[in-house]
A and B are shown apart, each in its own frame.
Chain A
């Protein structure tokens, strides 16, 4: 692995993404066994440092760590008690003092994991930093796509919804572009980041055209708080224009793969029937999430690391 930490997928080497995906498949096989545990990270200590609420990502990481026989500690802090930068540094240095090997961190601020690397020596894995990146989610999404299609190069992926506020979208864009996939973003123009085309993606506001074009849709959660501040007029309007509904999909003959990073707003960005249909791989993503995170932890903590690189 070229990088010691996993902070984001921007400029991440394609061969390292590929080896994470390959390793994830090996671990997925482990997860199918009656005894789902391997001793790979026996004796390693990992802290799950969550400055923001998370259920799925934290459980997924924790499970991945336990399957690898690592010792894990969970630290959840409400950000209200951490309004001061010094406290962040203190928290980090306290952890360091306790001799740990890696930190999995979620934080509401973009750049917080990079910031943490300046204070401690442990390996840092970004589990989501504000509206910046969520690299492990993008890797599990790519693992799921690779599993389904057998390739990523040339695959047509549409990301639908609130792109501006989505770390999932940004990491997916970086990762998919590195792996040679084509990416189209679709969502209300107020929720598409400025100059995003410079990242090599297309933007299309017509969801029907996008469905016609795509091999897979990655449907993002629409947060109700976006209705304030003039970004979106109403849920009804959003559903009419961008909702992945049974009715809309039925107008297209082709088979589509449907993904969602969760948690879903059924009946908002996606219909229940679509989410539960055969074309949805949403629960596969959840299992691949554990396998992918096992792969990442294994490769960063236990696998071979080229000396002296950061």
Chain B
């Protein structure tokens, strides 16, 4: 990946500008001057300007991923805010929200401040999600007010479900004062026990301990009920099962405060892909069946699922090279995201590219309350340029993350991010 500072004048020439906010696609040139969008339309070419040929390419808002793990502070051997930023840029992401399961966890205003300060130097915008409870141990609420003042955008004990229903109620209730989302990793740990994959014929084939789909959907149902009770805002992360989706769909009919995300891997893989014990496919919640995958695609199409989020979770080679029981849960996903979801949704399931782009840009930004008008003149350039039809094979060389734990390596992709422009820099394939 090439990465350099933007010239004073940059002209994106001959591309289709896709604006997910106005839902339009038009052929226009775009002039960036002093890192800001200066003009859209016919732009005169000057000698000193850097010209980027965007013929047959789509220019759109920079992607926004509201669920990543950048492991800082504490596990810089897996990822840092810098290496995570490069992975994001490679995938067309200009803005991410980092989960708080770091060491120490992001559970105080001071750690929020640390992330905010550190991210200043990074080439993407990084927003910390604070922990719901101190030490993510489910015991006491964090100082949400002070953390928001320092720059937190949402709260989650990600990785660790808030098991205590009363605590979850309090968190949702308390967060109503600030109108920010509470994100709960939904897995009933009692039902999950030592399960490492989805319970079904494949887990029986493999002899691996497993947990059924209701491990997730029971807790999703509880959280939805608590949301109705408290009036809080709930965002359901990485929905993996048809049953959870059904609960969300039915709750959304009357409750406008519920949002949900889906990962590329739950849309791309099925539990059948675990037949060779690939530890890179060990994730929580687990990859489920073909019919769950089908339901998730339907959930994307009918709008039950609001956005795509990668749950980018780097782990070292040493950890993932171990046996299946010992390998940690999680896979990276930023670099492979667009090629994977565009393939499954647009190529294979007739989903509109425009709608997919909304799920990567305006919709996640709306959940987090970020600026959505990225093509306004004068806005700091935060753009992604992609070829929606390129067929390619994802390889290790495409990975910018410090960790390489991706089951997408070797998989056919459809559509590819070519350039990402953000914070005065441009990265290109």
Query: Which residues of A approach B to under 8 Å, CB–CB?
Result: 10, 83-86, 88-89, 107-112, 114-115, 129-133, 167, 170, 193-196, 198-199
**Cβ-defined contact, B207 with A115, below 8 A:** no
Q: B300-327: contact bitstring with A at CB < 8 Å (1 yes, 0 no)?
A: 0000000000000000001111111111
**Cβ-defined contact, A85 with B323, below 8 A:** yes
**Cβ-defined contact, B321 with A86, below 8 A:** yes
A-B contact pairs, 9 of them (CB 8 A): A10-B205, A86-B321, A88-B323, A110-B325, A114-B276, A132-B206, A132-B208, A194-B212, A199-B204
* Assembled-state Cα–Cα distance A119/B96 (Å): 37
* Assembled-state Cα–Cα distance A10/B202 (Å): 12
Query: Which residues of B approach A to under 8 Å, CB–CB?
Result: 199-201, 203-210, 212, 276-277, 318-327
How far, in Å, is B337 (CB) from chain A's closest CB?
27
Q: Which residue of A lies closest to B326 (CB)?
A: A85
Q: In the assembled complex, which residues on chain A have CB atoms less than 8 Å from the CB atom of B201?
A: 194-195, 198-199
How far, in Å, is A294 (CB) from chain B's closest CB?
26
**Cβ-defined contact, B323 with A115, below 8 A:** yes
Q: Which residue of A lies closest to B327 (CB)?
A: A85
Q: In the assembled complex, which residues on chain B have CB atoms less than 8 Å from the CB atom of A85?
A: 318-323, 326-327
**Cβ-defined contact, A195 with B200, below 8 A:** yes
How far, in Å, is A162 (CB) from chain B's closest CB?
13
* Assembled-state Cα–Cα distance A133/B204 (Å): 11
* Assembled-state Cα–Cα distance A88/B321 (Å): 9
Q: Which residue of A lies closest to B322 (CB)?
A: A85
From B199, B203, B205, B323, give the contact of A112 (CB < 8 A).
Answer: B323
Q: In the assembled complex, which residues on chain B have CB atoms less than 8 Å from the CB atom of A110?
A: 206-208, 277, 324-325
Q: Which residue of A lies closest to B202 (CB)?
A: A195
**Cβ-defined contact, A109 with B324, below 8 A:** yes
From A109, A129, A133, A196, give the contact of B326 (CB < 8 A).
Answer: A109
Contact status of A115 and B205, CB under 8 A, knowing A84-B318, A110-B324: no
Q: Which residue of A lies closest to B193 (CB)?
A: A229
Q: Which residue of A lies closest to B206 (CB)?
A: A110
Q: In the assembled complex, which residues on chain A have CB atoms less than 8 Å from the CB atom of B327?
A: 85
**Cβ-defined contact, A130 with B322, below 8 A:** no
**Cβ-defined contact, B206 with A111, below 8 A:** yes
Q: Which residue of B lies closest to A196 (CB)?
A: B204
* Assembled-state Cα–Cα distance A194/B277 (Å): 19
CB-CB nearest 5 A-B residue pairs: A85-B322, A132-B207, A111-B277, A109-B323, A131-B207
**Cβ-defined contact, A130 with B321, below 8 A:** no
Q: Which residue of B lies closest to A169 (CB)?
A: B207
Q: Which residue of B lies closest to A171 (CB)?
A: B207
Q: Which residue of B lies closest to A89 (CB)?
A: B321
Q: Which residue of A lies closest to B209 (CB)?
A: A131
* Assembled-state Cα–Cα distance A133/B205 (Å): 9
Q: In the assembled complex, which residues on chain B have CB atoms less than 8 Å from the CB atom of A196?
A: 204
Q: In the assembled complex, which residues on chain A have CB atoms less than 8 Å from the CB atom of B208?
A: 110-111, 131-132
**Most A Cβ at <10 Å: residue of B206, B208, B210, B325:** B206
How far, in Å, is B353 (CB) from chain A's closest CB?
38
Q: Which residue of A lies closest to B278 (CB)?
A: A111
**Cβ-defined contact, A83 with B326, below 8 A:** yes
How far, in Å, is B272 (CB) from chain A's closest CB?
12
Q: Which residue of A lies closest to B275 (CB)?
A: A10
From A86, A88, A115, A198, give the contact of B277 (CB < 8 A).
Answer: A115
How far, in Å, is A193 (CB) from chain B's closest CB?
4
Q: In the assembled complex, which residues on chain A have CB atoms less than 8 Å from the CB atom of B209?
A: 131
Q: In the assembled complex, which residues on chain B have CB atoms less than 8 Å from the CB atom of A132?
A: 206-208
**Cβ-defined contact, A195 with B204, below 8 A:** yes
How far, in Å, is B314 (CB) from chain A's closest CB?
16
From B199, B200, B320, B322, give the contact of A88 (CB < 8 A).
Answer: B322
Q: Which residue of B lies closest to A163 (CB)?
A: B204
How far, in Å, is B274 (CB) from chain A's closest CB?
9
Contact status of A194 and B199, CB under 8 A, knowing A111-B206, A131-B207: yes
Q: Which residue of A lies closest to B276 (CB)?
A: A114
How far, in Å, is B43 (CB) from chain A's closest CB?
53
How far, in Å, is A140 (CB) from chain B's closest CB?
19
**Cβ-defined contact, A114 with B320, below 8 A:** no
Q: In the assembled complex, which residues on chain A have CB atoms less than 8 Å from the CB atom of B325?
A: 108-110, 130
Q: In the assembled complex, which residues on chain A have CB atoms less than 8 Å from the CB atom of B204?
A: 170, 193-196, 198-199
* Assembled-state Cα–Cα distance A199/B318 (Å): 35
Q: In the assembled complex, which residues on chain A have CB atoms less than 8 Å from the CB atom of B326?
A: 83-85, 109
**Cβ-defined contact, A130 with B207, below 8 A:** yes
Q: Which residue of A lies closest to B324 (CB)?
A: A111
Q: In the assembled complex, which residues on chain B have CB atoms less than 8 Å from the CB atom of A114?
A: 276-277
Q: In the assembled complex, which residues on chain B have CB atoms less than 8 Å from the CB atom of A130?
A: 207, 325
Q: In the assembled complex, which residues on chain A have CB atoms less than 8 Å from the CB atom of B324?
A: 109-111, 115
How far, in Å, is A80 (CB) from chain B's closest CB?
12
**Cβ-defined contact, A170 with B207, below 8 A:** yes
Q: In the assembled complex, which residues on chain A have CB atoms less than 8 Å from the CB atom of B210?
A: 194
Q: In the assembled complex, which residues on chain B have CB atoms less than 8 Å from the CB atom of A109?
A: 323-326
**Cβ-defined contact, A133 with B318, below 8 A:** no
